[in-house]
Each structure stands twice: as structure tokens, then as C-alpha cells.
């Protein structure tokens, strides 16, 4: 029986009721204090909770990402060619697509001052330090050497880092200006809206992606459209 079901049960004993509500009250207070103390420990004592991302070399991470992409691509083929599987819960596929988000590691043949920032941004992204990746990207966009790709990368970082509102704004601008990244921005805007739970608007955006926008992008959008969304 779930906690909700127990609390709805008119025959719940006072003892059980006290146990559940007591656990809630204590945990609620502890969560409040935990957040407060985390900030105090950081500000006043320099004590920070270390994240568990390891400092694996970029090459290893690229191989890992490539492996994940291969697995994801295999799963995608499975969804396309096995109609009975296409009605799976779309949340699982959404999670795969979000996990697949990666930055293009190609570099200009004429490296410019912005390139060092791009390297920082890329390394931070690979290490899942999205806050650093985002701040690098924001500084990068203030430079005259900033490109459309930099704007698109920032949007991807914002999406991957959970900054959904910022990601939506960045992506919508790339769409409105009819840039080179319009279709990809459209697809990722669809992902962002799904993450927010706005299924209707998201699927509407995904329907606008045409086959002429690129086969892979079109098929990914169509696969999302075929999923079962609650």
C-alpha cells in the first residue's frame, strides 16, 4: 500500500498516522535545514559537496558517448522497424535523446581568440559541468568571433543542464532568425517542451520538421511523434 493510500484509508490507526505524518514533518524540517546548511557550509566554512563526476580524460568520455550513441541508434532502429515497439512510453525515448545531446568538437582551421573559450566549454560539457559550460558559452557570445554554432551549442548546454527556459529562448531565436540551425533548434525545442510536460506544443513543433530538413532529424522527430505520451 502506498503512503497516499494509507492516508486515504479511513481505518488507518492513530499510531500509523503518527508514524507517517511524523516521518513527513521530520524529513520536511531536515530538508529545509540541509539546504540552509549546505549554503552556510559553502559560504562560511568553504565546505562543498564534491560531485561524483570523475575526471576521466576527454578521449575516454568521447568513446563512452560514442558507445552510448551506438546503443541509442540501435534502439532507434529497433523502434523504427518493429511497429509493435513504437507504442512504448515516450519518456524513455526522450531521456535517450537528451542524453545523446553532444557538442560538435570540430574546430576552425584558423583558430581565433574565442577558441580557447570553446575548448573550456567543450571540456566542461564533457565533464558534465554544465554551469561552467554555460558561463563559458555566455562569455563567448559577447565576443565578435562568436558564431551561430556557438549560439546553438549554448542552447544545447542550457537544455542538457536543465535550464529549460533559457534553452527555449535560445532555440526560438535560432528558429525565428531562420538560421542554419533552424531545424535542429526546432527539434531540440521539441525536446525542451516535452521535458516541461508541454506535450501538445512540443509535438506541434516536431511535426514542422520536414524530410528536407535532414533524414536523421526527420526520423528522430517522427519517432517521437509515434510514441505513447501520457
Partner 1 sequence: MINSQEDNNFGLSAERFTELSQQLANGDGEELFEHIFLVHFQSCLEFVIQKDQAPEHLAYDATMDAFLTFRMKVTQGKITYGNLRYLLTRMARQHYYKRARKESSIGLDTIQDPGVAPDIDFEPSAWDLLASGWSKLGDTCKKLLYAFYYRNQALKAIALATDRKPEALRKQKQRCLQVLKNVIN
- Give the residues lining the site for partner 1 (CB under 8 A): 2-4, 7-8, 17-30, 33-34, 37-38, 40-41, 44-45, 47, 49-52
Q: How far is CA 35 from the centre of its chain?
A: 24
| Choice between 35 and 216, CB closer to partner 1 | 35
Residue 158 sits at the vertex; the CA angle it makes with 63 and 42, to the nearest 5 degrees, is 95
Least Å distance between CB 9 and partner 1? 10
User: In a 10 Å sphere around its CB, with 0-12 CB exposed, 13-18 middle and 19+ buried, how is residue 20 labelled?
Assistant: middle
Q: DSSP readout, 22-68?
A: HHHHHHHHHHHHHHHHHHHHHHHH---PPP------HHHHHHHHHHH
Task: Compute φ and ψ for 82, nearest 5 degrees.
Answer: -120, 90
Taken as a whole, the chain contains a residue count of 230
Query: Least distance in Å: CB of 189 to partner 1?
Result: 27
User: Which residues pair with residue 228 across a beta bridge?
Assistant: 89
Q: Which is nearer to partner 1, 14 or 178 (CB)?
A: 14
24 versus 66: smaller Cβ distance to partner 1: 24
With respect to partner 1, which residue has the nearer C-beta, 23 or 131? Answer: 23
Q: Which helix (H) or strand (E) holds 131?
A: helix 130-140
Q: How far is the CB of 10 from partner 1 (least distance, A)?
A: 10
| Closest distance of CB 92 from partner 1, Å | 18
Nearest distance, CB of residue 112 and partner 1, angstroms: 38
Q: Which is nearer to partner 1, 28 or 196 (CB)?
A: 28
Amino acid at each position: 500500500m502506498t503512503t497516499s493510500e494509507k492516508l486515504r484509508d479511513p481505518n488507518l490507526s492513530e499510531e500509523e498516522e503518527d508514524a507517517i505524518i511524523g516521518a513527513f514533518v521530520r524529513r520536511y524540517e531536515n530538508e529545509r535545514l540541509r539546504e540552509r546548511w549546505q549554503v552556510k557550509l559553502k559560504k562560511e566554512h568553504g565546505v562543498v559537496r564534491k560531485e561524483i563526476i570523475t575526471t576521466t580524460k576527454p578521449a575516454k568520455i568521447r568513446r563512452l558517448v560514442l558507445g552510448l550513441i551506438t546503443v541509442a541508434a540501435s534502439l532507434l532502429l529497433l523502434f523504427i522497424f518493429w511497429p509493435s515497439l513504437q507504442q512504448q512510453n515516450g519518456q524513455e525515448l526522450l531521456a535517450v535523446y537528451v542524453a545523446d545531446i553532444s557538442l560538435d568538437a570540430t574546430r576552425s582551421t584558423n583558430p581565433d581568440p574565442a577558441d580557447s573559450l570553446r575548448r573550456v566549454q567543450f571540456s566542461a560539457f564533457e565533464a558534465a559541468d554544465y554551469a561552467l559550460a554555460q558561463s563559458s558559452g555566455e562569455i563567448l557570445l559577447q565576443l565578435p568571433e562568436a558564431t551561430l554554432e556557438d549560439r546553438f551549442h549554448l542552447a544545447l548546454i542550457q537544455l542538457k543542464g536543465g535550464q529549460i527556459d533559457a534553452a527555449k529562448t535560445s532555440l526560438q531565436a535560432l528558429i525565428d532568425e531562420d538560421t542554419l540551425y533552424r531545424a535542429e533548434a526546432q527539434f531540440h525545442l521539441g525536446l525542451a517542451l516535452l521535458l516541461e510536460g508541454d506535450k501538445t506544443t512540443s509535438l506541434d513543433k516536431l511535426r514542422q520538421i520536414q524530410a528536407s530538413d535532414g533524414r536523421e532529424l526527420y526520423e528522430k522527430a517522427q519517432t517521437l511523434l509515434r510514441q505513447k505520451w501520457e
